[in-house]
Amino acid sequence: MSRIVGETFFKIRGKNLPINVDGVIGAIVADLGIPSSLAKALFVYGRVAGLSAHHYEEISTQRPMRRINFSEAVYQGKDLRHYKS
């Protein structure tokens, strides 16, 4: 179905229609006959795996981020403004 939509879009608009990760998961779920209600769960599983790998990469290859002591932080933005409600 995603191919048909992409081809139709190209015929009408003359542009390719890239598919994002949600679209790919939706296409896989549909092709495998999996209930569509599970599509979000499959997306979340993939995202958790990717985030876990990213976290591991960060902690194993990067310098630790500096800690911020919020009690010593000084706000330098605009003064407090009051609005009529």
Please write the tens of the pLDDT for every residue from 28-53: 888 899 888 888 888 888 889 999 99
Domain assignment of residue 26, yes or no: yes
Domain assignment of residue 34, yes or no: yes
DSSP of 18-34, one letter per residue?
---HHHHHHHHHHHHT-
Distance of CA 53 to the CA centre of its chain: 15
* Owning domain of residue 21: 2-64
Predicted confidence band at 54 (pLDDT cuts at 50, 70, 90)?
very high
Domain assignment of residue 14, yes or no: yes
Domain assignment of residue 78, yes or no: no
pLDDT for the residue 8? 93
Domain assignment of residue 74, yes or no: no
Q: How many domains does the chain have?
A: 1
| Backbone dihedral angles phi then psi of residue 68, each to the nearest 5 degrees | -105, 125
Domain assignment of residue 15, yes or no: yes
Write down the pTM of the prediction. Answer: 0.47
Domain assignment of residue 72, yes or no: no
Predicted confidence band at 75 (pLDDT cuts at 50, 70, 90)?
confident
Domain assignment of residue 79, yes or no: no
pLDDT for the residue 2? 77
Q: Which residues contact 80 (CB under 8 A, 6 or more apart)?
A: none
